[in-house]
Amino acid sequence: MAVTPFLAVQERLKLNVHKWQDVLPENNLGWEIIPQLIGNHPSHFVDTILELQQFGYTRFNWNIGCPAHQVVRKQRGCGLMPYPERVEAVVNEVLGKTDCRFSIKMRLGLKSPEESFAIMERLQDYPLDFLCIHPRLGVQEYEGKPDLETFRRLFEMSRNRVVYSGDVFDVDSFQKICALVPDLQAIMLGRGILRNIFLAEELSNASRVNTIDKSLLQNDLQERFLHFYKDLETMMFATRGEHALAPLKELWHYFRFFWNVSDENLQILMRKTTWNEFSVFAYSLMH
Ligand SMILES: Cc1cc2nc3c(=O)[nH]c(=O)nc-3n(C[C@H](O)[C@H](O)[C@H](O)COP(=O)(O)O)c2cc1C
């Protein structure tokens, strides 16, 4: 299952279905996705959810964790975490006026972990789908280490299901969080699965992989990556044309780890200005 990048909620008359290409079911065949929403106005959430439900979605996620300045400045994303009463107002409206399963993605707070405890208190009696917590503050962005101890306290306090997100890049980091919170039932993979698209598989196979010849496995994984990449290119170009170049460049900042791409080659790749030139050079890096 995957949560989509966020979509801004809007009042009904301003909704623009054409901006939702990434979310449409026909562009996400074969797996369940949960559309993620961002905003702060209760009725805009209801309008947007009712519209998206027409595409068959029953589950929605609300992002109150995004630390980007332009988002925080508008009291959206993590910019809403210092205001627990506003968070509750949205949850109350969505659960009162729609029949969807609603979840929240958050950080420890914008400036202080007290913010997440205050939000948790307010939401305890609402039946959320889940609460996904990335245990850093918004002001930290991606600096420092996730605060696992505070995560554990929030996990133990919550009456809702809690999902963990943060710095799971390999089997070791996964096992560390599992050891600290043995009752944890789900984690969300972010940068880790982009650096290594087989990470979820590796985590579930952790013990078995040790018994297999790893060089054979590596060749097989490279083949599978190439299949995946071909499908990704086709899908991205079909939905966005040349505009897909910018998001594909962003993905290569993570894919480079799988192919051990040098800084120099990454820079050459980033300087490509057409889809075709980019594609030819990208394939030359994948061997
Ligand atoms: C470039 C970038 C874009 C992100 N976009 C989103 C987003 O749209 N929605 C979201 O919930 N989290 C988003 N995140 C946060 C991740 O979901 C995740 O919580 C965070 O990166 C920590 O987990 P990780 O270390 O596994 O990546 C983004 C992170 C990065 C680095």
Pairing of strands 101-109, 2-8: unpaired
Residue 221 and residue 233: Cα distance in Å, rounded? 18
> Quick one: which atom of ligand 1 is closest to the CA of 191?
27
Neighbours of 193 (CB within 10 A): 18
Residue 231 and residue 284: Cα distance in Å, rounded? 17
- The contacts of residue 133 (CB under 8 Å, 6+ apart) are 106, 107, 108, 116, 151, 154, 155, 162, 163, 164, 165
Structure tokens at 77: 């994303």
> Quick one: which atom of ligand 1 is closest to the CA of 105?
11
What spacing in Å lies between the alpha carbon of 190 and ligand 1's midpoint? 6
Q: In the Cβ-directed half-sphere of 283, how many Cα atoms lie within 13 Å?
A: 10
What spacing in Å lies between the alpha carbon of 37 and ligand 1's midpoint? 14
Is the Cβ–Cβ distance between 36 and 77 less than 8 Å?
Answer: no
Helix 214-240 and helix 245-259, axial crossing angle in degrees, nearest 10: 180
Is the Cβ–Cβ distance between 195 and 257 less than 8 Å?
Answer: yes
Smallest CA separation from ligand 1 atom 26, residue: 190
192 lines ligand 1 (CB under 6 A): yes
Residue 117 and residue 138: Cα distance in Å, rounded? 15
Condensed to tens digits (0 to 9), the pLDDT of residues 78-123 reads 999 999 999 999 999 999 999 999 999 999 999 999 999 999 999 9
> Quick one: which atom of ligand 1 is closest to the CA of 189?
26
Helix 245-259 and helix 275-285, axial crossing angle in degrees, nearest 10: 10
Structure tokens at 193: 């699965």
Domains of the chain in start order, with CATH, are 2-166 (3.20.20.70), 214-285 (no CATH)
Q: How do the pLDDT tens digits run along the chain, 287 residues long?
A: 999 999 999 998 888 887 887 788 888 888 899 999 999 999 999 999 999 999 999 999 999 999 999 999 999 999 999 999 999 999 999 999 999 999 999 999 999 999 999 999 999 999 999 999 999 999 999 999 999 999 999 999 999 999 999 999 999 999 999 999 999 999 999 999 999 999 999 998 875 655 555 655 777 999 999 999 999 999 999 988 999 999 999 999 999 999 999 999 999 999 999 999 999 999 999 98
Residue 260 and residue 164: Cα distance in Å, rounded? 28
Condensed to tens digits (0 to 9), the pLDDT of residues 207-222 reads 565 555 565 577 799 9
> Quick one: which atom of ligand 1 is closest to the CA of 168?
26
Q: How many residues does the chain have?
A: 287
Is the Cβ–Cβ distance between 22 and 239 less than 8 Å?
Answer: yes
166 lines ligand 1 (CB under 6 A): yes
Cα angle value 210/211/212 (rounded, 5°): 95
Give the position of tokens 């133990």: 156
Average pLDDT in the chain: 94
Closest CA to 78 of 38, 121, 128, 122: 38
Give the position of tokens 């109150």: 64
Residue 275 identity (one-letter amino acid): W
H or E stretch including 266?
helix 263-270
